[in-house]
């Protein structure tokens, strides 16, 4: 394992996002350009190996043919105080679709109210990350509809169990998107998923890269929304290429997430303008790699992680891409 160049960065986030306040990433350059390996710290080597496969593909294999030069983007609204919602939305110029993570109805309805006061035409996506039981899903979805009416584009992974999702699908007027159900079970049979859901959330790194994500999307047969895993601008550029390579792209993609960081390794960071981000390869700025450099200890931790996964979990085929 010998990349042409590499760096480890630690970028502070503006708000606590799924418990993360510092986003660390291993960035490296291969024959085709820069790529990113940044599975969350708690992921084990086996799960992270899918991310490394994506990262190596990104650095050493050319992007497929792109069908579009820009990708339509949704805003991602973190858990912030209601009075800060309007100003946070200025990160997402021209975006009319807004995704928010929700715990329940009581904690999150006011934030949605603040958003709709500011953007009455917003199309709203609720992301539950599989956190509700079937009974909770029924109750909360009822509450959301009663208070806000038909502002929802879809609800993402309301429950973890597919049998619960299948029941909900019969009962609720909201479209259902699946995220964790797909991402955590990449080897499963996706044939039946299109009967119980309307949208498939796909992420570049956790699905093993562009080629693999395109294959999964074709197998599932649902419209896809390409989303980020809180990547730096480099991971985002590969997510944008994946989105741009799809024959159909009906929904805005969740790739505006560098707005959640205090800074990025490129300047300007890939952010929406008029609701879209241009698809292009990104190289980091040396001064920004230095500004956000991880400590020597964390750098070594990431280098060891890459080395271990390379030795124990990567196929010869993927290793053969590095040249
Ligand atoms: Mg999600």
Q: Give yes or no: residues 58 and 76 share one domain.
A: no
Same domain, 89 and 177: yes
Q: pTM for this one?
A: 0.95
| Cα(2) to centroid(ligand 1), Å | 34
CA of 292 to the centre of ligand 1 (A): 27
* Angle subtended at Cα 250 by Cα 225 and Cα 18, rounded to the nearest 5 degrees: 20
Q: Are 17 and 133 members of one domain?
A: no
Q: How far is the CA of 295 from the centre of ligand 1 (A)?
A: 30
Domain with residue 127: its CATH number is 3.20.20.120
Residue 307 belongs to domain spanning = 5-62+286-321
Q: Are residues 31 and 154 in the same domain?
A: no
Examine residue 3 and say whether the peptide bond preceding it is cis (omega within 30 degrees of 0).
no
| Euclidean distance between CA atoms 156 and 158, whole angstroms | 6
Could you report the per-residue pLDDT of 247-278, keeping only the tens digit for each? 999 999 999 999 999 999 999 999 999 999 99
**pLDDT for the residue numbered 20:** 81
Same-domain pairing of 299 and 233: no
pLDDT band at 295 (very low <50, low <70, confident <90, very high): very high
Pseudo-torsion of CA 22, 26, 27, 28, nearest 10°?
A: 170
> Per-residue pLDDT for 245 more than 80?
yes
pLDDT of residue 194: 85
Query: Same domain, yes or no, for 237 and 303?
Result: no
Distance CA 86, CA 76 (A): 13
Residues 148 and 233 placed together within one structural domain of the fold? yes
Distance between CA 200 and CA 315 in Å, rounded? 27
Active site residues: 101, 203
pLDDT at 186: 67
207 and 90 in one domain?
Answer: yes
Indicate if 38 and 152 belong to the same structural domain: no
Q: Quick one: 125 and 241 in the same domain? A: yes
* Rounded distance from Cα 289 to ligand 1 centre (Å): 29
Q: Is there a single domain that holds both residue 188 and residue 262?
A: yes
The two three-digit tokens of residue 72, written as one number: 């339509």
| CATH number of the domain encompassing residue 309 | 3.30.390.10
Write out pLDDT tens, residues 107-163: 999 999 999 999 999 999 999 999 999 999 999 999 999 999 999 999 999 999 999
The pLDDT of residue 4 is 86
Mean pLDDT of 186-200: 82
Total of domains in the chain? 2
Average pLDDT over residues 40-54: 96
Between 10-24, 205-219, 274-288, the lowest mean confidence (pLDDT) is in 10-24
Side-chain-facing half-sphere of 268: CA atoms under 13 Å: 10
At 82, is the pLDDT very low, low, confident or very high (cuts 50, 70, 90)? very high
Q: How confident is the model at residue 15 (pLDDT cuts 50, 70, 90)?
A: confident
Distance CA 227, CA 230 (A): 9
Q: What is residue 1's predicted lDDT score, i.e. its pLDDT?
A: 66
Check residue 129 and report its DSSP letter: T
Q: Which helix (H) or strand (E) holds 125?
A: strand 123-127
Q: DSSP for 168-209, please give it.
A: HHHH-SS-EEESHHHHTTTTS--TTHHHH-SEEEEETTTTTS
Regarding whether 297 and 177 lie in a shared domain, the answer is: no
Residue 196: CB atoms within 10 Å = 18
């Amino acid at each position: 394992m010998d990349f042409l160049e590499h760096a480890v960065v630690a970028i502070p986030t503006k708000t606590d996002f799924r418990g993360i306040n510092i986003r660390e990433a291993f960035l490296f350059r291969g024959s085709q350009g820069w790529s990113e390996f940044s599975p969350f710290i708690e992921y084990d080597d086996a799960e992270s190996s899918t991310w490394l496969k994506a990262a190596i593909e990104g650095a050493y294999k050319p992007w497929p043919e792109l069908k579009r030069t820009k990708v339509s983007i949704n805003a991602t609204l973190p858990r912030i105080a209601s009075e800060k919602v309007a100003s946070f939305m200025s990160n997402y110029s021209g975006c009319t679709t807004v995704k928010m993570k929700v715990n329940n109805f009581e904690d999150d309805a006011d934030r949605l109210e603040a958003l709709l006061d500011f953007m009455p035409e917003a199309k709203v996506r609720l992301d539950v990350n599989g956190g509700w039981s079937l009974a909770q899903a029924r109750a909360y979805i009822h509450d959301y509809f009663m208070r806000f009416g038909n502002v929802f584009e879809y609800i993402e992974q309301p429950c973890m169990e597919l049998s619960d999702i299948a029941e909900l699908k019969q009962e609720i007027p909201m479209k259902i998107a699946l995220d964790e159900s797909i991402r955590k079970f990449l080897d499963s049979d996706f044939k039946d998923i299109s009967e119980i859901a309307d949208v498939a959330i796909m992420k570049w790194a956790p699905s093993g890269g562009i080629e693999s994500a395109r294959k999964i999307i074709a197998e599932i047969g649902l419209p896809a929304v390409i989303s980020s895993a809180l990547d730096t601008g480099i991971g985002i550029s590969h997510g944008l290429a994946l989105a741009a390579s799809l024959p159909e792209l009906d929904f805005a993609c969740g790739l505006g997430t560098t707005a959640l960081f205090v800074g990025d390794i490129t300047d300007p960071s890939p952010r929406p303008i008029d609701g879209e981000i241009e698809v292009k390869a990104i190289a980091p700025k040396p001064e920004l790699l230095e500004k956000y450099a991880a400590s020597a200890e964390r750098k070594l931790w990431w280098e060891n992680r890459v080395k271990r996964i390379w030795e124990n979990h990567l196929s010869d085929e993927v290793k053969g891409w590095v040249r």
